[in-house]
Structure 1
Amino acid sequence: MSHKLYTIQEIQAIIHADGVINHPETSIRTLSIDSRKLTDMEHALFFALKGRRNSHDFITDIYESGIRSFVIYDKEFNVSAFPDANFLIVDDTLKALQLLAAYHRSLFTYPVIAITGSNGKTIVKEWLYQLLSPEFTVIRSPKSYNSQIGVPLSVWQMTDEHTLAIIETGISKAGEMEALEKIVKPTIGILTNIGEAHNEGFSSTEEKIEEKLKLFENCGLFIYSPFYLRGYTGTIPGRTQFTWCHHAKADLDVWGDEILENKYQFLRGEFKGGEVQCIIPFTDHASVENAICCWATMLAMDYNPEISDKRLEKLLPVRMRLEMKTGNNNCSVIDDSYSLDISSLTIALDFLRQQNQHVKRTLILSDIPESGVDPANLYEQVARLLENKDLDKLIGVGPMISSNSDLFKIESRFFDSTEDLLQHLNELPFFNETILLKGARAFGFEKISRALTQKVHETVLEINLNALENNLNFYKSLLNPGVKVMAMVKAFSYGSGSFEIANLLQFNKIDYLAVAFADEGVTLRKAGINLPIMVMNADELAFETIIQHKLEPEIYNFRVLENFIDILNQKNIEQYPVHIKIDTGMHRLGFMDNEVDALLDLIHNTDAIEVKSAFSHLVGSEDVSLDDFTDQQISSFATITDKIEKSLGYKFIRHIANTSGISRWKQAQFDMVRLGIGLYGIDNAYQERSPLESVAVLKTSVSQLKNLKAGESVGYNRKGVLSDDGTIATVKIGYADGYDRRLGNGVGQMSINGKIVPVIGNVCMDMCMLNVSGIDVKEGDEVIVFGKDIKIEKVAADIGTIAYELLTGISQRVKRVYFSE
């Protein structure tokens, strides 16, 4: 699509910036905020947003990537070092971004739908896209871009070729919505619901409602359910309101619902004095409510009730996430094959770009279904995008992309259809590649995914990379300026993966990684991880490997130090980085206080090593009862490392704080912190209302259901006995998968269709049984072993252990699926 080109001087006037403009002829069509996700360099404008890191520090790298236009807030920044670049200088770069987006929005007169609420925003947005696309060329927020940054970037995508915009907006605290309203200026507003999400950012539910409704102050039409505004005493916005409700007076009163064939919901209601009805292909409560919200929107927009009914019945599930799976022939497969437009393609390519585990990056791309858009224009934009994303190979699927094949300058091959590609799959020798599948739903790319991925054990550990990144950023927000972060990826990243996690951490510019053994570090090096890596259990058998792969050993006693120095001397290596472990009370590994003088003598007498860091380990940083001891450890560490630094005559990194140490002991940050289990949403410093997000969900499924009589036994040794007639479900997980035998006989619980059910009988090697009496279950249903509803901390506590043990104990035969939303 053709985006409006702005001159750099136009933008300067719009955002009220001072500036140094060396090339006034520069035209802008792309906005960038992330130095790791750059594209369209010639026409890109980079906004240096304020954050924990000084974004101005990355301008040199961004400049070297080819971008020549910047919006900055540091008036002291040396712009003269970049004589052929344009710099616009403002007080607040975020406000400048929002000002520019608001101006861009003002150029268009077609309808703009804005959606907010506590839950369901993204689903309603995507379903409205499905429902309204026959009449409109729709621009919508990519994925869940609904923040103070995401909204302006979404609005920026509006062009003259669109005829409708659907923009999702979200807020987490009071005072945020006013800025978003000025950007979006919606003509139609939709409130999905009001729930518990982000309650901590508001003093009351009344304040939360009042803040969200600011988005709709100037709307011509406001669509909502009065159920969610009950008790609200403020003014309802919108020149016209359209209401929907269950069994209550409203413009759409849904008074009847019936489940058909266990997969459809038949809804009946009253509208304009007559009966209306529709069928939706979902039965869960959240989906039904989101579908009714969409139904109400169509009726409010004067759609014929019969047309609404036909389209609602054909609603497709929304999968707003891409998944990374293990592929055949040493490949990784990124499956994002359920929706396709330029925005989501850009996001997926950025995810592909951060993968370093294979030597090649391949994209399998279908035709892009953009109604009313000139194909040559569209695929020229796609070709330009691919050139900037380090792609090695393109496989195009569909008549439109094939007819524009001459636009693509990289290695490529084209097929008329998915079936055509599958028939020639053996001619495409995929090997040691990261393969991104990006296809419109009509192309059925799930068939390609099945053909390219390994067939493995059906029990799955899902890893939410967004949640992990959010947890990382939470801990970063607690740090003093300049404090580095070492991430612990030992033990297969606490059972969550190897290069998959390390790639994300490297992409987020972590300073250090730590592994337990040299082999783990070698695996990361072979997967393209170039961060410094500390090996915690280093011994003479691994020294050759450590040196060969540029790993950095932890030195914890004289034997290890002397042996390592000998190896370095044999190789004529000097100043090799090492990490000195100090024992301040853990009494596991490390030099004691009374050994430090001898340690210093040894270091002074060799040029083979350089102390890169000195560190220690807190015994009970999360335990209030041990606070005096923790304080003593911190003090002792400071004294010992001061002595070492003074003796050596140079500075090194000092670190003692682990996950809970970051949360509770600001004085323990020193130069670096070591973040471990907190990355995965577990921190014992937060007993209630944790700010962290759950990262791992362990899932399995029901293999078989059995109806048993009272008194019948279940499992080995007849340990499980039904007290009444009932039903048991056999599920595909056992102690060989890491589901501990101690969780048998009613100790453990799992969740099926939102219901918590107990384990009955002994846990078997490959399966176990659940008592599902009285609940609606069918064979093949998904079962949550731990996740949001069943916290892993509770599962661990039930058998007297810790979450670490459960995570690291999950068998390698359990498939890991990594997803990003």
Structure 2
Amino acid sequence: MDPKKLYSLFSTSTGVSIDSRKIDKNQMFFSLRGNNFDGNKFALEAIKNGAKFSIVDDKRLEGKDDRIVYVNDSLKALQDLSNYHRSLFDTKVIGITGSNGKTTTKNLIYSILSQSYNVIKTKGNLNNHIGVPLSLLDINENIDIAVIEMGANHIGEIKALCEIAMPDFGLITNYGHAHLEGFGGFEGVIKGKSEMFEYLTQNYGNIILNNDDKIQIKNCKGDLAITFGQKKDSEFVFKYKKEQNFLSFENNGDNFRCEIYGDYNFTNVAASITIGKFLDVSSSDIQKGLISFKNDSNRSEVIDYGSNKIYLDAYNANPTSMTAAISNFENSTTKNKILILGDMYELGEFSKIEHQNIIDSIDRKDFLKVYLVGDIFYNCITKSKYFEKFKSTEEMSKSVILKDFKSTNILIKGSRSIGLEKLITS
């Protein structure tokens, strides 16, 4: 169906839903398919629950109800609809991709720009071929800027998301050893993430370029790069001062402070300040944005837990982010340090060696104890009782009670599905 025709129906609705159980009155329901579900089966239920239209790609449903709208591909229809909707507004779109730090950077940029503009952002981690279109449909005539996170685990996906979202600005947080299975290795990660730069170059967009990252510099072919970093030839030069539990920056005489831990977050905060300054947000408002910044749950949180302090980063993990987190924790001035590490996923044939590399890189003298959680870590080789392994979070919670530690600093890092945050609530 022509996007304009579909849009004429959309304009009479109150929005879009992909869940027939949570549909609001007069929303448009899109029947999407997945590996284990078919939304077409719920198209009539959605109408019963208040949907104004149900968009389906199962021809057997055509004619079952006047509110059933047949298209060749429901997902493609949703993407085309959101692309057309985005094209109708002057809203500036900022695209964010990278292996690590996407959500943190998205939230930082949102917090800073919200001081001066009406801004929307992708909700949670809705950063894929479904989530990005849904986020774009939240744009309206009152929205100045949309901050859109874009995730990918295969080559070609960032290109497709850029073609839907049409970003005016874009940045790559970093290139890391994430989703190696889907990308086919680190070179595939570089190629896939760099599709953001390729789109912006071809469409005269603005690249927010980390001038300290040699790989980014190599893959940036455009003339409209806004550079930031510690190098003196950067357009926005940052001096970094390491302090306990927060980051401190100096840029062109302005001092900024952000209560987020981890040296690896330096580039995320610097990129966010750069965008704020480029878009004429005052330095005082940038600082207000940094102060009001709230990250999503389980991401770079510092939690007081009894007499202990927990550094919780248990939403996602890959070899690059885990190595950075361990290194930062190891080099911190805190005492009595314990590591709790959970399995990393989507590494394919690289999985075993990457997990073993993490274990081998840990300097035993710097930590009181290292707990390894998950089947992959469990099957790795450890040569000391200093390491203790558990097959699951549940198994560990039966043996280790975190509140029993006294005045201890604990880093918790692992993939979301391991559920390491349960160690705090158990």
Check whether the contact 1:244–1:251 (CA below 8 A) recurs between aligned residues: yes
Whether 2:296 is the aligned partner of 1:320: answer yes
Match of 2:176 among 195, 198, 209: 195
Question: Where does residue 222 of structure 1 map in the other structure?
Answer: 207
Question: Where does residue 133 of structure 1 map in the other structure?
Answer: 114
How far 1:246 moved relative to its partner?
Answer: 1.9
Rounded Cα–Cα distance in structure 2 between residues aligned with 1:95 and 1:59? 17
Seq. identity, %: 21
Whether 2:351 is the aligned partner of 1:689: answer yes
CA RMSD of superposed structures (Å): 4.6
Question: Where does residue 176 of structure 1 map in the other structure?
Answer: 157
How far 1:463 moved relative to its partner?
Answer: 12
How far 1:181 moved relative to its partner?
Answer: 1.8
Check whether the contact 2:31–2:43 (CA below 8 A) recurs between aligned residues: no
Q: Secondary structure at the match of 1:28?
A: coil
Whether 2:280 is the aligned partner of 1:280: answer no
Match of 1:302 among 275, 280, 284: 280
One-letter amino acid of the structure 1 residue matched with residue 284 of structure 2:
I
Check whether the contact 2:209–2:217 (CA below 8 A) recurs between aligned residues: no
Whether 2:271 is the aligned partner of 1:293: answer yes
Rounded Cα–Cα distance in structure 1 between residues aligned with 2:54 and 2:298? 31
Whether 2:257 is the aligned partner of 1:268: answer no
Rounded Cα–Cα distance in structure 2 between residues aligned with 1:67 and 1:309? 42
Check whether the contact 1:188–1:221 (CA below 8 A) recurs between aligned residues: yes
How far 1:106 moved relative to its partner?
Answer: 1.4
How far 1:464 moved relative to its partner?
Answer: 6.8
Question: Where does residue 144 of structure 2 map in the other structure?
Answer: 163
Rounded Cα–Cα distance in structure 1 between residues aligned with 2:344 and 2:121? 35
Check whether the contact 2:200–2:207 (CA below 8 A) recurs between aligned residues: yes
Structure number with greater Rg is: 1
Mark the CA change 1:146 to 1:78 in structure 2 (over 3 Å): closer, same or farther: closer
How far 1:101 moved relative to its partner?
Answer: 0.3
Mark the CA change 1:154 to 1:818 in structure 2 (over 3 Å): closer, same or farther: farther
1:705-784 pair list within 5 angstroms: 756-757=363-364, 771=368
1:554-593 pair list within 5 angstroms: none
Check whether the contact 1:458–1:814 (CA below 8 A) recurs between aligned residues: no
Rounded Cα–Cα distance in structure 2 between residues aligned with 1:457 and 1:316? 26
Rounded Cα–Cα distance in structure 2 between residues aligned with 1:814 and 1:457? 13
How far 1:322 moved relative to its partner?
Answer: 7.7
One-letter amino acid of the structure 2 residue matched with residue 193 of structure 1:
N
Question: Where does residue 82 of structure 2 map in the other structure?
Answer: 101
Q: Secondary structure at the match of 1:791?
A: helix
Deviation string 1:428-464 (CA, Å, 9 cap, x unpaired) is: xxxxxxxxxxxxxxxxxx9xxx9xxxx999799x997
Deviation string 1:31-52 (CA, Å, 9 cap, x unpaired) is: 222345x221432322333433
Q: Secondary structure at the match of 1:811?
A: helix
Match of 1:142 among 123, 133, 152: 123
Rounded Cα–Cα distance in structure 2 between residues aligned with 1:89 and 1:278? 53
Mark the CA change 1:149 to 1:78 in structure 2 (over 3 Å): closer, same or farther: closer
Q: Secondary structure at the match of 1:139?
A: strand
Match of 1:49 among 33, 46, 67: 33
Deviation string 1:156-197 (CA, Å, 9 cap, x unpaired) is: 111222222211112222222233223222222233222222
1:21-40 pair list within 5 angstroms: 27-36=12-21, 38-40=22-24
One-letter amino acid of the structure 1 residue matched with residue 40 of structure 2:
H
Rounded Cα–Cα distance in structure 2 between residues aligned with 1:465 and 1:191? 20
Mark the CA change 1:229 to 1:157 in structure 2 (over 3 Å): closer, same or farther: farther
Count of residue pairs brought into register by the alignment = 369
What 5-or-longer segments of structure 1 have no aligned partner?
A: 1-11, 18-23, 324-337, 339-445, 468-679, 694-748, 760-769, 772-782
Structure with higher RCO (Cα < 8 A, 6+ apart): 2
How far 1:235 moved relative to its partner?
Answer: 5.5
Question: Where does residue 244 of structure 1 map in the other structure?
Answer: 228
Check whether the contact 1:189–1:221 (CA below 8 A) recurs between aligned residues: yes
How far 1:146 moved relative to its partner?
Answer: 1.1
Rounded Cα–Cα distance in structure 1 between residues aligned with 2:390 and 2:309? 19
The TM-score normalised by the length of structure 1 is 0.39
Whether 2:54 is the aligned partner of 1:70: answer yes
Match of 2:395 among 797, 804, 808: 808
How far 1:104 moved relative to its partner?
Answer: 0.9
The TM-score normalised by the length of structure 2 is 0.69
One-letter amino acid of the structure 2 residue matched with residue 14 of structure 1:
P
1:596-607 pair list within 5 angstroms: none
Check whether the contact 2:247–2:266 (CA below 8 A) recurs between aligned residues: yes
1:594-673 pair list within 5 angstroms: none
Question: Where does residue 14 of structure 1 map in the other structure?
Answer: 3
Rounded Cα–Cα distance in structure 1 between residues aligned with 2:183 and 2:105? 24
Rounded Cα–Cα distance in structure 2 between residues aligned with 1:809 and 1:263? 27
Choose between structure 1 and 2: higher helix proportion.
Answer: 2
One-letter amino acid of the structure 1 residue matched with residue 3 of structure 2:
I
One-letter amino acid of the structure 1 residue matched with residue 231 of structure 2:
H
Rounded Cα–Cα distance in structure 2 between residues aligned with 1:283 and 1:319? 12
Q: Secondary structure at the match of 2:268?
A: helix
How far 1:240 moved relative to its partner?
Answer: 2.8
Deviation string 1:323-359 (CA, Å, 9 cap, x unpaired) is: 9xxxxxxxxxxxxxx9xxxxxxxxxxxxxxxxxxxxx
Mark the CA change 1:126 to 1:86 in structure 2 (over 3 Å): closer, same or farther: same
Mark the CA change 1:787 to 1:250 in structure 2 (over 3 Å): closer, same or farther: farther
Q: Secondary structure at the match of 2:80?
A: helix
- Is the deviation greater in 314-323 or in 212-221? 314-323
Question: Where does residue 186 of structure 1 map in the other structure?
Answer: 167
Deviation string 1:61-108 (CA, Å, 9 cap, x unpaired) is: 444434352222222x2444x33x422222222111110001111121
How far 1:109 moved relative to its partner?
Answer: 0.8
How far 1:292 moved relative to its partner?
Answer: 0.9
Q: Secondary structure at the match of 1:315?
A: helix
